[in-house]
A and B are shown apart, each in its own frame.
Chain A
Amino acid sequence: MTRLRQMHSPLAWGMVFLVAALGIVGVPLLNTMTEAGSTWHVPDYMVPLLGKFLCYALVALAMDLIWGYAGILSLGHGVFFALGGYAMGMYLMRSMAGLGVYRSELPDFMVFLDWKELPWFWYGFDNFGFAMFMALAVPAVLAYIFGFLAFRSRIKGVYFSIITQAMTFALMLLFFRNETGFGGNNGLTDFKFLLGYNLQEHDTRLALYVITASVLFISYLVCRWLVTSKFGRVLMAIRDAESRVMFCGYNPLQYKLFAWTFSAILCGLAGALYVPQVGIINPSEMMPANSIEMAIWVAVGGRGTLIGGLVGSGVVNGMKSWFTVSYPDLWLYFLGGLFIFVTLFLPRGLVGLFKRKDSA
């Protein structure tokens, strides 16, 4: 009970549940129960789009956990997202074996490359459970190893951010190669079924949306629980005065590594939910710019609040959708300008506008 009160004030709990109910139940209801012409109607094409935004919001949550609370700015979270997406993509490819253009047991791109058998690292991906496990485990293991090496060498700040950029760039180049075995620059696409459900059907999309919204809600609660625990207080202490934390007898390496790996797992989860809704995964998800954009979502929304990441990703992606239709050439300039504006004038982000100055 006291623990719940530490997580949110009663009022805030009310708001959280209200927003969650709107997202998880409200949107599907507005989509199915209202007439196409009504002002409250959510058109069918909006559902996967909103689902996509929620995946981005999950990434922003993961990003805020590590940046806002542990002070570690990752510019490589796109990698974890993409790896989760690839694991899901591999399952989707395997689940349509024999139904591709070439009617082969192998995914189309392998037939195209004249490969005769499935590479060993594709084994097991016809099993949904295994694929989901890998969607979380591969980002986790990569993050753990990378984090262990970086944090143990006490690499911090800008240096850390730069090597995460290098990581995402290196993996992008690797995945671009056809020989790597993940479809090269086309990536994996033309998916048909998820657990037997047709991905082209609206009901499947609606179900995916509801699952994504629920996962985001649960992840938010878990993150909130984490940051209001003593673990969270140690994490923030590491962000503010790492050496003091060490001299208090904590090993910051363990704390950072836990938060970092958990953050990567959330990204993997987001990637796995993203791919069936957008229908494609390719190496461009690992572009360094994508990871930077993720950091901008959090900066715009406000660091160290969890809510800020969610708000920021919603606002920036909403604007992006509009811009890329109306002024596609101007989007990157606008994004850069927005980042500078927020850094200079809103260091606490949009959410910071509503918070009192002295609250921690």
Chain B
Amino acid sequence: MNAWLERTREFWRRDQVFDFMLPPLQSRELDVSHGVVLYLENITVSFDGFKALNNLNLYVNNGELRCIIGANGAGKTTMMDVITGKTRPDTGAVFFGQKIDLTKYNESEIAAAGVGRKFQKPTVFENHTVLENLELAMQMNKSTFVSLTARLSGEQRDRIDEVLSIIGLTEQVYLRAGLLSHGQKQWLEIGMLLMQSPYLLLVDEPVAGMTQQEIERTAELLTSLAPRHSVVVVEHDMAFVRSIARTVTVLHEGSVLAEGKMDEVQANPKVIEVYLGEGY
């Protein structure tokens, strides 16, 4: 009943237009005149009364590499779901740049607007070759009728080769993605993000299950992306976070517990209290 009332009230708000009247999110121009690429304000998400996100506030600067840490269930993945349109927040605002209200668009529109996402569990198209994976992710017109006749231009092929060398999969270009190692899949997924030329990359636990060597390569890869892209990395591996982090945000029970340089955050008594005994 309450939710229904809320929705009715939402419907009549005078400062908003109806969803279906919104212009399609086609322009790829992002207004970052205030230097902030992502605003999350007072976000609350509850699942059956349990608040996975509780009044969360987070700002990501343009060109920044931001690390988010937090215990299991702190709400990190849920936060990404909210940004990418997979989950609608109960309350709060999500703005991409100054103008784009992300709560109004669906997953594919948000992706097309320039938000790329790497899932916690690596998801590449296993039955497609590495080349096809990158081709599918490439920034271009993605409507059905264009796809019917789309062919790779020389320029696009060059771009793919460039990304292949960034992610170190040049040799595997014609290999079926399902045959890649776990670490290679993770990189391929990051490569797919790069193909989308997003303004903002959301990377959920990129080094889970990687060998030490692979972790180091991934750290290099991610740090090389900023400041051309803004990057948000969620990670448990503290050594990894320390090696790439400039600013760290600690999530706890769905809200921000602390934010700052890695050393400051680790010295923060609140953080120590929450993590005490967890081996951090």
Residues of A within 8 A of B (CB): 3, 226, 229-231, 233-234, 236-237, 240-241, 243-252, 254-255, 258, 358, 360
Contact = CB atoms under 8 A, between A and B. Distances in A.
Of the listed residues B84, B116, B144, the one surrounded by the most CB atoms of chain A closer than 10 A to its CB is B144
B205 to A, nearest CB: 16
Contacts of A248: 108, 111, 136-137, 142, 192, 196
Nearest to A244: B123
Given A248-B196, A249-B142, A249-B196, A231 B148 contact: yes
- Majority-rule SS of A interface residues: helix
Interface residues of B, number: 35
B132 interface: yes
Nearest to B116: A247
A254 B135 CA distance: 19
Contacts of B109: 251
B154 to A, nearest CB: 13
Nearest to B179: A358
B81 to A, nearest CB: 10
B182 interface: no
A338 to B, nearest CB: 26
A40 B175 CA distance: 46
Interface string B139-157: 1001110011111000000
Contacts of B192: 248
Contacts of B176: 358, 360
Contact of B147 (A3, A229, A236): A229
24 contacts: A229-B149, A229-B150, A231-B147, A233-B128, A233-B136, A234-B147, A236-B125, A237-B128, A240-B126, A240-B127, A241-B124, A241-B126, A244-B119, A245-B136, A246-B111, A247-B107, A247-B116, A248-B137, A248-B142, A249-B142, A249-B196, A250-B136, A251-B143, A252-B108
5 nearest CB pairs, A to B: A249-B111, A246-B107, A249-B112, A231-B147, A230-B150
Contacts of A226: 148
A226 B150 CA distance: 11
Contacts of B116: 247
B144 A255 contact: yes
A250 B196 CA distance: 11
B117 interface: yes
Contacts of A245: 108, 136
Contacts of B144: 231, 254-255, 258
B86 interface: yes
A240 B111 contact: no
Contact of A251 (B108, B137, B148): B108
A229 B148 CA distance: 6
B127 A243 contact: no
A164 to B, nearest CB: 22
A246 B119 contact: no
Nearest to A234: B147
A151 to B, nearest CB: 13
Contacts of A229: 147-150
B22 to A, nearest CB: 15
A30 to B, nearest CB: 38
Nearest to A226: B148
Contacts of A249: 108, 111-112, 139, 142, 196
Nearest to A304: B127
Interface string B101-113: 0000011110110
A241 B123 CA distance: 7
Contacts of A244: 119, 123-125
A71 to B, nearest CB: 11
B126 to A, nearest CB: 6
Contacts of B179: 358
Nearest to B140: A249
A258 B144 CA distance: 8
